[in-house]
Structure 1
């Protein structure tokens, strides 16, 4: 009788251990996903992808977390809000992100889009992301004076603020604060940050991103 009890107890302990291991395996395999939908400012424009601020963010998250979020960077040069509206549904369905970072609007404003149009499209992107269960942050861009066309800088700044207030999302007003006015940190086009500036871009973004990305 005692042998039977010992055998049952041993099996029970073995099963419990297996269950615990399975639970830990599930937790380990569950990786939060961050989707970045941006333009050339987030696509490592004219430099190796590994030198861009998004790659630097990935390395920082790995250093700060045993189970760092996976980053999907869906940024590309020239992307507009309309482009993102076309692409976002499939991106959300494919990657099921927990966090969506929207770094858009600069191209729209420079190309002459009006404030109501920018606010409408940006708000729709926020709604689509939230509808898929993701938290959202907007990473803004302050258009430098040399590229300010018919008040586009003020128009874009006001659009970001309006959407952030209306939708109650985290907003970084200027991803390139302290960079856009420093020629030594810019590429020869006078607008895109160079490789040396990428760590500063990350430092600008980090206070906004850390509460969303690290638990």
Structure 2
């Protein structure tokens, strides 16, 4: 009888223990599910719209381009943001103005505009570049009036002539002022003209160069994420 009582007691305790364990497991799973739901519902999107610099032209992996490096910084800080890359190699401001409406079909909260470099390298009229970029900004605001827009400033080589160089460089601060944008003074700061940080074409950054681009962007972008 005593042995049966002991066995019965052990079985009862094990049953209670298993029941509690199952409840704890179910509770933990539900908590994780709730956290994921909250994370997904509160997560915001950062849309990077640009040319080959944004696309990471010539790199071994897209993860080496500055938008992906921004995502790595965001993840390390556990901030609720997802980076969406929309870079197209060879894109001009005119091409971007034609493409933007399709890109804006996805939800976004912060918009990073990186275009104009190809205009400058081709010596296109600065007035046209200004108007194309302004048109893109207006279309973005029409879709999402509350979004924050970051504009990446660019420069052209001195070989384009001093008059053109000054007019081109003036495009970006003028746009930032007119449309109340957050300005990255020069996206390629610390990289442009540095042989060891650029690929053989002397135009597109290496992986190390893209890392510096990410830092240049992060200085302006980080305060907007806090």
- Band of TM-score, shorter chain: 0.7 to 0.9
2:94–2:129 Cα contact (<8 Å) kept:
no
3-state SS of 2:68 partner: helix
> Mind listing any 5+ residue stretches in structure 1 that lack a counterpart?
1-19
Does 1:124 pair with 2:135? yes
- The aligned residue for residue 17 of structure 2 is none
RMSD: 2.1
- The aligned residue for residue 67 of structure 2 is 54
Q: Structure 1 residue runs of 4+, over 4 Å off?
A: 20-26
* Cα distance in structure 1, aligned partners of 2:169 and 2:79: 37
- The aligned residue for residue 159 of structure 1 is 171
Give the number of equivalent residue pairs: 192
- The aligned residue for residue 178 of structure 1 is 190
3-state SS of 2:49 partner: strand
- The aligned residue for residue 81 of structure 1 is 93
3-state SS of 2:69 partner: helix
- The aligned residue for residue 135 of structure 1 is 148
Does 1:144 pair with 2:140? no
The worse-fitting range, judged by mean Cα deviation, of 77-86 and 108-117 is 108-117
Q: Encode CA deviations 1:1-21: one digit per residue, 9 max, x unaligned.
A: xxxxxxxxxxxxxxxxxxx99
* Cα distance in structure 1, aligned partners of 2:115 and 2:207: 20
Are the structure 2 counterparts of residues 150 and 111 from structure 1 closer, same or farther at C-alpha, using a change threshold of 3 Å? Answer: farther
Does 1:198 pair with 2:210? yes
* Cα distance in structure 2, aligned partners of 1:98 and 1:115: 29
Deviation at 1:25, TM superposition (A): 5.8
* Cα distance in structure 2, aligned partners of 1:135 and 1:66: 17
Q: TM-score, normalised by structure 1?
A: 0.82
* Cα distance in structure 1, aligned partners of 2:202 and 2:34: 52
Does 1:188 pair with 2:200? yes
> Mind listing any 5+ residue stretches in structure 2 that lack a counterpart?
1-30
Deviation at 1:26, TM superposition (A): 4.8
Give the greater-gyration-radius structure (CA).
2
